[in-house]
Structures are given as C-alpha cells and as structure tokens.
Amino acid sequence: MKAGAWSILILAAGSLQAQAPVQLPSVSVTSTRVAIQGPAATFAMPVSVLRYEPMVDIQARNLGEGQSDVTVRGGIFEGTGFRIGATTLLDPQTGHYLAEIPVAPSMLSEPRVVTGADLAMETTNATAGGLAYDWRRIQTAGFVRIGAGQYDSRRAEFYQGYTRPGAGAQIAADVAIAHSRSEGAVPFGEHRFDRANLRLQRSGQSGQTDLFAGYQAKFFGWRNLYTPFNSNETEDLETTLFLVHHRQNLGGGDYLDGGFSHRRNKDDYAFNRFAPVGAIHPFQHSTWVDAAALEGRRHVGETAVHFRGEMLADRLDSTSLTFGRYRSRTITKLALAAERSWRADADTVRIKGGAVYDDSNRDAAAVSPVLEISRTLTRLGGVQVYGTLSRTTQLPTYTALNSNPAAGLFRGNPNLGRQFSRNLEVGVRGQFDGWTTQAAIFSRHDDRQVDWTFRRGVTARTANAVDLSVTGLELMTRRSWSQVDVVLGYTALSKDSDYRGAAVDASFYALNYARHRLTAALTLRVADGFELRMDNVARVQAGNLLRPVGGDEAVISSFAAYYRPRGFPAVELSAGVDNVWNSAYQEVPAVPSSPRRWSVGMGFRW
C-alpha cells in the first residue's frame, strides 16, 4: 500500500484547529465528499465525482468517463438507479449505459446516495442503491476551461448562466458545451467526447421549474472492452435527454415534485474494430425511454403522507437483440407511506411505514413493505439512530432477455423474470467530536439477480440468475479546518451466492466486489490562492479467476494542484494526475486498467 497519500492526510488533519469549511464557488463544486471535481483526461461528467465517492464503487473501462459500471453496497451495475428531478433515468438495453447522462455537472446538485427505505420510495427499477440529483438554481456566472496532457489529450469546456427578475420569480437560462479528445494511453485506446446542454428556468420562493435539452456523443476504444478475448473493441454512443421538472414548496416541509423525461441512447459496439466493413457492426442498438413521475409530502393532521407515482415506457431497436419475447414494455410504480413523530424523554421518535406497488405489462406485479424507525437523541446533540426494512424489485434488461441463448459473444435467457431484493439495516448519523459521521450495518438478500458469468471452454458470457446474501458495514466521516478538508470512507462486504444449478466458473459482476474498500479525500489550502487536492481508494477485492493480472489488492489515487493569482482571482491554473501510482489493477475482470496520465489546464470564471 502506498503510504504517501495517507501520511500526508493524517499529519494535515491532526495539526489544525477546526473552523468553518472553505469551499470553491458553487458553480465548480459538484460533490463535497470528494476532493477533485473533475478528471485529468477529459471534461467532467456526472460519473466523474463517483470515482472516489465513499458510498459508491465504480468499475471503469478505458476512462471512468468512457464507460463505468456504478455499484452501491455490493450490488451490480444494473441494480443502481439514477434520478434527476422527479424522474428515473433508465437504460433498458443494459445497465452499462445507466451513467450516460448528457448533463453538465455544473447544472446539477451534489448527488444524494439513496438506499434502503429511501430507495424503495424514491427510485424505480433499482435494487441495491440509487443516485438522486436535483437542478441547481441558475446564477449569472460562467466559466471557460481548457486543458492538454499526455497522449495528445485536449479538452475545452464553456458554461454561461444568465438571470433576470420576473413577476415574483427569477427567469434564467444557462448553456454548457464541452469537447475532449485523445490518442489514448494504450494503442487503440483513443476517445472523442462532445456534449451540449441548454436549460431554461423559472424560480422563486414557492418553487422552481426547469426545461432541459442535452446531447452527448462518445467514441472510445479499448482492448477487452466487454469480452476477455484480446480483441480491440470500440463503442460509439449518442445520448439525447429532454426533461421538464417542477417542484412546488407547500410549507412546513410539504411539497409536490413532478416531471417528464425522454431519453434516447444509440449504441454502435464493435467487437473487432478491424473486421471487414460488412461485418464490423453486428451490434447496433437504440433505446427510447419516456417517463412521467409525481411525488410529494403532505400533512394530514399530525401525519405526514409520502406518495410517489411513476410510469416508464421503453422501446428497443437492435440488430442482434432479436431473440426473447418482446422489445417494448411499461413499468409502473406506486408508493405510499405515512409518517408520525412524537417526543419521548426530550428525544424525537419518528416512524414511517407504507407499501410500494411495482407492475409491468411484461411481468407479474409485486407489493413490497417499507418501514423506517428513528430516534433523534437530544442529549447527544441531535445524533440520530435508525432502522429500516424494505423490499425493492427490478426487471431484466434487453441484453439479458434478448441475446441469443445458444450462440454468440453474449448469451441471454428469455425466461429471466422480476428480481427481488430484501434489505434490513441499522445506522447512526450525527456530529461526533467535530466529525460529521454516518454509519450503517446492513443485510440484503437478492433473489434471481441477473449476473453475467463465465464457464471454461465457452467463448461467451452468459446471463444467469443468482441468489445473493450480502452483509456489509458502511462508514463515512468528514471534517473541515481552516486549511484542510478531510473525508474518510470505509465499506466491508461479504457475499454468499447460489446460481440455481447453473454451471458457473466465474462472475464478471455479482462476485466482482471489494471485501474492504477505504477512501480518503484531502484538500489542503497551503497558501493564498494555492490548493492541493488528493483522492485515494485502497481496496481488497474478492478473488476472481478472470483477473489474471493486477492482483486483488490496489491503491489508486488522483492528485491535482490549483492556483489562483492574488491579482487575478478569476483565473485558475491547474495540473492533475490520475492513477498516480500507475496501478495495473483491473476494475472489471479481464479489462486492462487505464495507465497513469497527467494534464495541465487553465480556467477563467466570471
């Protein structure tokens, strides 16, 4: 394990007195739980700050911004839900593209990680955890950033927000454009990324309305991108998102939140980029998802009623996912819970209970319980202890359902059905000796979870159902001093698996997890206008025969330095390095890691 990052963090944290945290302007900070807000190799995307998020684990191919599987609490990539505003964003083809969100992070709030009862109530078609984003309020502000680095890397990003007062509300608009390209850190590992966003907003004390349009195009190559057969593969993705969202504040914590979204994702995957023209594109897929959601909280006497309704309609057009039983479906979710609070020995006790109804025109419906009990301890300064019991459900993606079950690189199973996940957890949140801390112990049982597995002698990965028992401990704590910010996270996981009699030698996803994962984020303000930032993750991974190189233990770090001249505070000079220790650890088994890379940049904000 590399000692440098951890010793710097410990010495800095122990030598300073606690004061109020100092943060960058809101247009730049997209997560306070990590130190570095963007990568060295390209422009920032919503997935960028998740690389070192204490409660999220991502498994990347090429760059994290190229393709990343996002997992929470030992779930697999398809068990994670994403939500912007009121609506859930799905990719019905494969969860590999859940993080294809064509939105500039400067337009979004810090991601909120939801699990347990919150996941059951707030997100559709997710079983392990979710990430919820809100829309930032627009300010009259902007920036431009440019950068260059190793491997002929170049990037540029522009953002501008504009506001004007209206009748009882602010009328605003913002626009964001970004471009990045590189020859790649390895042969045939190049990328070309582009993104364009436009948003209109009306905001006031009573609520906020956002209308958004976004487009993103990504091309990248990598050896063993999705298959372990030493082939140079490529992805060509185009993602379009249109979204309308409105939140109405009703007072006393009550609100209404609703919206509509339309997402199209077009995927052109090449297993062999050098194959003859007539055979190079056998894997072309387009998906469309329309979503409408309404949720809220409303007091009825002393009882707060929480409710949510969401409907999603998806459709697939594919050159290879032509097996299975269907290529379109609807998914419906209704959730209702009642909440009561009362005083007990100067403490506040809260209980919330209800049920969630999930249905689809392609599978049977399910009714699931939701229960949460908490107690806020006044004598301990507002520390909260809680326990939750919940169940979530999910339907398989089309790649699992409609791939040829008897031939090809990806072998599906049309008989896969609704997946269930039962979650029980207890936890604590609060301030402890100046540290803002949250901790949880959880047990989750996944029934019929879809996993992609490997069998010796079979040149393919196969979709199989697996029953998983997952137990875990999760801890995050942070503190700020006048010159230092520190965020620490730790997760421990244990899994037992049953593949229901299927012949399985190794798992690409369900059993690709960290038994121990420790994160540390450090921000050090060393002088006037000069900052050093470092993110680190140390992990002990469960063994996997598909990971022949790189080992099962790794320390991965990113480092960045920023300077704002005293006489020109709008100017920012930066230098950054990803994968500082040049780790060869394979985040996805059999997929080569991305080597160390550096870049320098300059920004100007107004």
Work out the average pLDDT over 102-120.
97
pLDDT of residue 280: 60
Using the predicted structure, report yes or no on whether residue 10 has a pLDDT greater than 50.
Answer: no
Judge whether residue 466 has pLDDT over 50. yes
Q: Determine what percent of the chain falls in helix, strand and coil, rounding each to the nearest 5.
A: 5, 60, 35
What CATH number has the domain bearing residue 397? 2.40.170.20
Q: According to the 3-state scheme, what is the secondary structure of 570-583?
A: CEEEEEEEECCCCC
Confidence of residue 134 (pLDDT cuts 50, 70, 90): very high
Report how far apart, in Å, the C-alpha atoms of 355 and of each of 121, 213, 579 are: 9, 34, 45
93: containing domain: 4-605
The continuous run of DSSP H or E covering 243 comes out as: strand 232-251
What are the structure tokens assigned to 339, written together? 């909440």
pLDDT for 403-432, tens place per residue? 999 998 899 999 999 999 999 999 999 999
Residues 51, 35: contact at Cβ < 8 Å? no
pLDDT in tens, 380-396: 999 999 999 999 999 99
Task: List beta partners, residue 356.
Answer: 335, 368
* Structural tokens at position 356: 């969630």
Residue 243: its pLDDT value, please?
98
Q: How far apart are CA 591 and CA 461, in angstroms?
A: 14
pLDDT for the residue 472: 97
Instruction: Show Cβ contacts of residue 303 under 8 Å, excluding neighbours closer than 6 positions.
Output: 338, 339, 340
β-pair partners for 376: 348, 384
Q: Answer yes or no: is pLDDT of 20 > 90.
A: no
pTM of the model: 0.93
Tens digit of each residue's pLDDT (9 = 90 or more) over 76-90: 999 999 999 999 999
Domains contained in the chain, number: 1
Q: Which pLDDT belongs to residue 589? A: 92
What single string gives the DSSP state of each residue in 515-577?
A: EEEEEEEEEEEEETTEEEEEEEEEEEEPP-TT--SS-SEEEEEEEEEEE--TT-TTEEEEEEE
Helix (H, G, I), strand (E, B), or coil: what is residue 505?
A: coil
- SS3 assignment, position 398: helix
Q: How sure is the predictor about 228, in pLDDT bands with cuts at 50, 70 and 90?
A: confident
* Average pLDDT value for residue range 539-551: 89
- The pLDDT mean for the chain works out to 93
pLDDT, one tens digit per residue, over 305-355 is 999 999 999 999 999 999 999 999 999 999 999 999 999 999 999 999 999
Query: What would the mean pLDDT of 271-293 be, rounded to a whole number?
Result: 87
Res 260: pLDDT: 98
Amino acid (one-letter) located at 450: V
More confident residue, 359 or 6: 359
Coil vs helix vs strand at 231? coil
Mean pLDDT of 133-138: 97
What's the pLDDT tens digit per position in 148-207? 999 999 999 999 999 999 888 999 999 999 999 999 999 999 999 999 999 999 999 999
581 in Cβ contact with 597 (< 8 Å): no
Q: Which of 333, 356, 344, 590 is nearest to 452 (CA)?
A: 590
pLDDT value at 532 more than 80? yes
- In the structure, how many helices (H) and strands (E) does the chain have? 3, 30
Q: Distance (Å, rounded) from C-alpha 76 to C-alpha 128? A: 8
At 386, the amino acid letter reads: Y
pLDDT score of 278:
62
pLDDT of res. 281: 73
